[in-house]
């Protein structure tokens, strides 16, 4: 991928994702005062969550972790690259994960072209403990943000980092 192609690829994703940050999604009205659902994909913005180092999983811990959603982001470009879910936040990245290869290729290409990059991870800790509910929320966020490293969006953005 050329530098120009990389810049254009990132720009298209940024424009798409930025649209959701700037546009208030229509809210359905109700006759009764209903408690808002905290697991609403429209209420979760991965770029507003606390940023952690991508090597968080190397830190010593005495717990397998908790259920959560996690987001791989490029903080330098304000891009959401990947959306994932796990029931063991401290163990998910210790094994094989295809996204690690995409991230490495993405970082290598940026280094080759001397482009600014800051790949990090954020966590959303209010995710449902029940697996199917957590996976449904994950899918809703993948569909909303069109995160390019998730296979569900490869047809839209291509697979330049496989």
Structure tokens, 12: 């298209």
In this predicted structure, what is the pLDDT of residue 54? 74
In this predicted structure, what is the pLDDT of residue 58? 53
In this predicted structure, what is the pLDDT of residue 23? 81
In this predicted structure, what is the pLDDT of residue 100? 86
Range with the poorest average pLDDT among 48-52, 58-62, 97-101, 144-148: 58-62
33-50 pLDDT tens trace: 444 455 677 888 999 999
152-162 pLDDT tens trace: 999 999 998 87
Query: In angstroms, how far is CA 24 from the centroid of its own chain?
Result: 20
DSSP-assigned letters across all residues of 51-108: EE-TTGGGS--SS----EEEEEEETTTTEEEEEEEES-TTTTTTS--HHHHHHHHHHH
Q: Mean pLDDT across the stretch 16-40?
A: 65
Q: What angle do CA 133, 137, 141 make, to 5 degrees?
A: 170
Q: What residue segments make up the domains of the chain, in order of their start?
A: 3-16+42-57+64-153
Instruction: Tell me the pLDDT band of 86, cut-offs 50, 70 and 90.
Output: confident
Query: In angstroms, how far is CA 9 from the centroid of its own chain?
Result: 17
* Look-up of token digits 């429209």: 42
115-146 pLDDT tens trace: 999 999 999 988 999 999 999 999 999 999 99
In this predicted structure, what is the pLDDT of residue 34? 47
What are the b/e assignments for 97-118, b being 16+ CB within 10 Å? eebeebbeebbebbeeeeeeee
Helix (H, G, I), strand (E, B) or coil at 151: helix
**CB-based contact 155:108 (threshold 8 Å):** no
Q: Give the whole-angstrom CA distance, residue 96 versus residue 71.
A: 17
Greater confidence (69 vs 98) lies with 69
Instruction: Tell me the pLDDT band of 76, cut-offs 50, 70 and 90.
Output: very high
Percent of the chain with pLDDT over 70: 78
Q: Give the whole-angstrom CA distance, residue 117 versus residue 106.
A: 9
């Amino acid at each position: 991928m050329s530098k120009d192609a990389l810049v254009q690829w990132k720009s298209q994703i940024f424009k798409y994702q930025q649209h959701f940050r700037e546009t208030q999604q229509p809210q359905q009205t109700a006759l009764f005062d209903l408690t808002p659902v905290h697991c609403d994909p429209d209420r979760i913005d991965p770029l507003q969550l606390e940023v952690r180092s991508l090597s968080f999983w190397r830190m010593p811990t005495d717990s397998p972790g908790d259920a959560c959603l996690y987001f791989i982001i490029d903080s330098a470009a304000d891009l959401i690259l990947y959306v994932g879910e796990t029931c063991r936040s401290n163990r998910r990245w210790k094994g094989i994960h295809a996204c690690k290869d995409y991230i490495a290729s993405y970082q290598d290409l940026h280094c080759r072209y001397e482009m600014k990059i800051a790949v990090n991870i954020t966590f959303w800790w209010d995710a449902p403990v029940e697996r199917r509910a957590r996976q449904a929320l994950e899918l809703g966020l993948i569909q909303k943000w069109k995160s390019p490293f998730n296979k569900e969006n490869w047809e839209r953005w291509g697979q330049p980092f496989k």
